[in-house]
Structure 1
Amino acid sequence: MKLHNYFRSGTSHRLRIALNLKGLEADYVAVDLRNEHHLQAEFRALNPQALVPALEADGRVLIQSPAIIEWLEERFPSPPLLPADPLARAHVRALAAIVGCDIHPLNNKRVLDKLRKDFAADTAVINEWCGTWISAGFDAIEAMLAADKRRGDFCFGDKPTLADVYLVPQVESSRRFKVDLGRWPLIAAVDAACSQLEAFRRAAPANQPDAG
């Protein structure tokens, strides 16, 4: 497998975590978003949407991190990222979707670039924008974690699931946008538990070859 990704991309980060939890290795191909490498013809030939990540596997190019992670779960089912019970699976998917559908898209680089270029948004405005959507989503996640009395150290149960795969990169991004995480102690505790696992440490932006 060959992973085309960017060290600080939240979608790339979540895919790296998923690969690591599955015990899978992929050749790391850096796509520097700062220099707009993703917009060049060579990368567009791989992914017409010109977004990271893209995963070359089984003779195909897979795009969109949710689709890639679902493929990983089906192609390499052990260890699972989703619980066996259908209701529990729906719960874990909902936690992941709060990040993947309702927080991350509004904090995406192309959205922030649009705000900077066309609406003259400075760093303070960008941080406020990101903080608004992060806070709304994290308030919901914190409430869901608090309501789950059977929860262990992670978002669900005693092992990391898809929910943790999505949450940890968003926590990392939140720090970059100067969001005070103190109001969400359960999210902070999940992030701390994940940080003890090698799969999460290896996937962290600071530990990627293109970091800097």
Structure 2
Amino acid sequence: MLKLYHQPLSANSRRVWIALLEKQLEFELVELRLDGDHLQPEFLALNPFHHIPVLLDDDFTVVESLAILDYLEAKYPTPTMLPKDPKALAKVRMVEMVTVNELMPAMTPLINRMMGFAGGDDSQKIEAANQKIATVLKFFENLLGHHPYFGGEQLTLADIVAGSAVPILPILGFSLIDNPKLSAWVESLMQRPAWQTTHPTPEAIEAFKSRMQALMAQYQSEKS
């Protein structure tokens, strides 16, 4: 059976979790709390870089979320989540890479602000982050066009990757109001059981926030 080592609030983890649900595969979830679980010898034997998610398929281990998504698509191609049309495929890959390389790094200052971490009140970093996010969302808005999904009429890996990050933006204080097509896309995704199952609840966010703040306080105390 497939086994996913993950953290429920991690966008990297959630994109794999969503794909597993959308493909209706049987799998086991192993939650890591990120307060030391990811540094244990058993986990480091799976991923020496101590990152999540990790997918274990019997005796085969896959690290890095995009590689895991490609593995799942190749091994379990139904329902298909990669279009054959060259332009549609290029859109899917662009959305994946822009999400990972542009959007998610820009979200970090907003996450730090929400979590109350050091530097989270840096107004210049927040403004730069907001500008980058706005650029990404405009790019996504144009790619969507008049289609319900980035690859056309069917859900693709692009929707799963971007859809594990964009719906979180309002929680971080960034409104989607200037991007009506993207807003409608998010509303459509949130009607799907896979998103309803994996979308973080306010209670889960507060619990994670409290745990991380306690860890930071402990770290600062030990450092001093």
TM bucket normalised to smaller = 0.7 to 0.9
What residue in structure 2 maps to residue 162 of structure 1?
157
Q: What percent of counterpart residues are identical? A: 29
Cα distance in structure 2, aligned partners of 1:108 and 1:21: 27
Q: Structure 1 length as normaliser, TM-score?
A: 0.82
Does structure 2 retain, via aligned residues, the 8 Å contact 1:5–1:54? yes
Whichever of the two has the greater Rg, that structure is 2
What residue in structure 2 maps to residue 121 of structure 1?
119
2:171 corresponds to 1:172? no
Equivalent residue runs for 1:14-163 within 5 Å: 14-33=15-34, 35-107=35-107, 120-123=118-121, 125=123, 127-128=126-127, 130-146=129-145, 149=146, 151=147, 153-163=148-158
Q: Which amino acid aligns with 1:121?
A: G
Task: Describe the superposition over 1:60-79 as per-residue Cα deviations: whole angstroms up to 9, x where unpaired.
Answer: 22110000000011001111
Task: Describe the superposition over 1:14-66 as per-residue Cα deviations: whole angstroms up to 9, x where unpaired.
Answer: 11111111111221111112x24323333222211111101111312211000
**Of 198, 201, 207, which residue of structure 1 is paired with 2:193?**
198
Q: Which amino acid aligns with 2:141?
A: E
Does structure 2 retain, via aligned residues, the 8 Å contact 1:62–1:68? yes
Task: Measure how far apart 1:106 and its partner are.
Answer: 4.6
Cα distance in structure 2, aligned partners of 1:42 and 1:137: 38
Compared CA separation, residues 56 and 137, structure 1 to 2 (3 A): same
What residue in structure 1 maps to residue 9 of structure 2?
8
Q: Structure 2 length as normaliser, TM-score?
A: 0.78
Higher RCO (Cα < 8 Å, 6 or more apart): 1
Aligned length: 202
Does structure 2 retain, via aligned residues, the 8 Å contact 1:2–1:56? yes
Cα distance in structure 1, aligned partners of 2:189 and 2:58: 30
Instruction: Mark the runs of 5 or more structure 1 residues left unpaired by the alignment.
Output: none
Aligned CA RMSD, in angstroms, stands at 2.9
Task: Describe the superposition over 1:152-200 as per-residue Cα deviations: whole angstroms up to 9, x where unpaired.
Answer: x223322211111012111233123211111111111111111112222
